[in-house]
Structure 1
């Protein structure tokens, strides 16, 4: 079995340890020759790089491990890029969350004004990494976790339509784990699902076990009673996530025939979200107090002691999906994954140029889409509006157009008027001058 070489782009991310550990936990089905970390923030990456260099030498000395800020060194002679970059890091995420709240708007990093701001920053970063990969390893695949995935997918499809990139998100997988547990199963792979939507904007329409038994009645009952609170995994433990999983109960009531993605709460109940937000302590503060603190404190302990022995390190659910996808591409497993792909008729009564999130079968060839049935008017209307927001954002980036970005914000369900859209836009422009293209 071939040994693979992998670059993790965003090597200084708090998610990098989870991906590393998951890769090392699956060497029996996905052998590895080399793991490289790449980040343009040398200081942030160095701590994770030093700690896991120690770990890899102790546990898998046969694997070459390195970390670098040099693109040629990082992207040469590799088979996969696993990308999970955050342009502007947590300082800019804080602005994405807190600037909209000043105007009484939802402050969330992948949806609404904050998601639009983050999207405009992410486009350049993801395209840059994709170009590095194609320059130095043209046969490699890029598996992209970078958010906001909907805007990034629209941009990569429009700007690099022939690139070997798969845009993915672990949120539906987290929900599938919870639904599997509701039905008495351990793994999301024990389920067969049908799902359609945009990223962070979708619905499960059919859920069965491997014998074909319909699990929807049982899961509907659970979600209708308490949302997704049952089956919480170790990744999403902060109070904000508990509230999100609980609020799914109210989102579900809008269409009890389907099971919703939890992010729909931001679109359906923005007033509730703002009312229950604290501008002085948003999600980014929770991350700094929990995951960020824990990851870097663990790295410090390994570096200071010179060993990873005695330090509890575990892969997490966030990481499993990206590794499973690499295995499917490498080993031609023909497994089913939810991918963000060009619609092209897969959802028949929806914009064929949209990037939709649907089930696909993945093998060495890439992916084959599983067509969905015509979608109901309620979802169709919502999706047409949201995909227009995403397309306008990418057009604004391409053209440097202030007007198109203003239109995108005005069209967002989370912004009440063009006046408010302009006010928050001007504030976001000031905050993002080092990252956005100049808008005219």
Structure 2
């Protein structure tokens, strides 16, 4: 069986150890010959990289491993780039969340003004990595799960239309895991139908391989409990803020009982509730920095101190095995069925062809082929179109360096009450992001 060379772009991420351990756990399905971490912050990445070098030496010495800040070294002789970058790191995420709250607007990593600010930063970083990949390994595929995925995917469509970039999100994977727990199945036993934009969509069918439909059963449960379950194996989404999010799904179902909602819809349909319950001095970014960030880096330092990863505090990210499923689909032409972010081109028949939508796809060696979801109802279509225009205008603002376009994008967002608030927010965000955004005029 062929062995593959993988580079993880964003090697200093708190998710990197879990991804590496997941890859090691899947060597029978997706064997590696080389694994490289790449990040432009060598000091941060080095803490994790030194610990992971010990882990691999003890558990998979046959895999060539290194961490580097040199793009040529990182991307040469690479089959797959797994990208989870965070331009500005958690310091900028904290500002993304706290600046909007000053104006009574929800601050969130991927939605509303915080997501727009993050998107404007992410475009530059993503284009840079795509260019490195194409320069040094032109046949390499990028498996991108960097946020905010909708804005990043639209930027790739506009600015790098021929790039071999596959855009995918872990949120539907995590929610499907919870759905499977509700009905006593496993995610692999289920096929879904889904339509939307990233972090903005609905499940219309959840069937097992024998064709039994569970949509109504799951809706009945969600109407009382949201997506909260008694089994917590998805460690990424178990913090208190996420538990509130899973519970809120019952209110999302109440306003639109036709389909099962993506949890992120709460930021668009109940933004006043989110602001009312937000802690302006301690947001999700602080929760992560004091929780996962500290835990992961402390564990890495302890591994290096002891010189062994035996009994380490690193935990396998089993939930991220969707990344291996995607890589295998390309490498082995498995025709895996997965939710992907792709150009619509008729998949949703009454929605713009050039929209980057999230729908089920069959993935093989040539990439994803979207499955038709037919026509969608007016309520969902109208919400989606408004959000689509926000994302398109953000990318236009980036390309044209247009203050007006970005102001209009913020004004269109359902999370912002007026053009006046949008302008005040924009001016604050420009100042906070002056080291990352293009200069707007």
TM-score range, shorter chain: over 0.9
RMSD value, Cα: 0.8
Q: Report the equivalent of 1:253.
A: 254
Aligned equivalents of 2:386 and 2:318: distance in 1?
31
Q: Following TM superposition, by how much is the alpha carbon of 1:319 offset from its aligned partner in structure 2, in angstroms?
A: 2.1
Specify whether residues 312 and 87 from structure 1 end up closer, same or farther in structure 2 by C-alpha distance, changes over 3 A only. closer
Q: Report the equivalent of 2:152.
A: 152
Aligned equivalents of 2:314 and 2:175: distance in 1?
24
Q: Does 1:28 align with 2:34?
A: no
Is the contact between residue 296 and residue 313 of structure 2 (CA under 8 Å) also seen in structure 1? no
Q: Report the equivalent of 2:94.
A: 94
Alignment of 1:29-428 (within 5 A): 29-185=29-185, 187-230=186-229, 231-232=231-232, 233-428=234-429
Is the contact between residue 7 and residue 36 of structure 2 (CA under 8 Å) also seen in structure 1? yes
Q: Following TM superposition, by how much is the alpha carbon of 1:313 offset from its aligned partner in structure 2, in angstroms?
A: 3.4
Instruction: State the secondary structure of the residue aligned to 1:108.
Output: coil
Deviations 1:299-352 (A, max 9, x none): 011000000112253322442111211111112111101000000111000111
Aligned equivalents of 1:253 and 1:317: distance in 2?
32
Is the contact between residue 19 and residue 323 of structure 1 (CA under 8 Å) also seen in structure 2? no
Is the contact between residue 174 and residue 317 of structure 1 (CA under 8 Å) also seen in structure 2? no
Deviations 1:105-147 (A, max 9, x none): 0000100000000000000000100010000000010000110
Instruction: State the secondary structure of the residue aligned to 1:235.
Output: helix
Deviations 1:353-390 (A, max 9, x none): 10000000111121111010200000000011000000
Is the contact between residue 80 and residue 141 of structure 2 (CA under 8 Å) also seen in structure 1? yes
Aligned equivalents of 1:35 and 1:317: distance in 2?
18
Deviations 1:29-72 (A, max 9, x none): 11100000000001000000000000000111100000000000
Instruction: State the secondary structure of the residue aligned to 1:99.
Output: helix
TM-score under structure 2 length normalisation: 0.99
Deviations 1:244-271 (A, max 9, x none): 0000100011121200000000000000
Give ranges in structure 2 of 5+ residues lacking alignment. Answer: none
TM-score under structure 1 length normalisation: 0.99
Instruction: State the secondary structure of the residue aligned to 1:307.
Output: coil
Deviations 1:164-206 (A, max 9, x none): 0001100011000000111101x31211100000000000001
Q: Following TM superposition, by how much is the alpha carbon of 1:239 offset from its aligned partner in structure 2, in angstroms?
A: 1.0
Aligned equivalents of 1:422 and 1:318: distance in 2?
39
Give ranges in structure 1 of 5+ residues lacking alignment. Answer: none
Instruction: State the secondary structure of the residue aligned to 1:349.
Output: coil
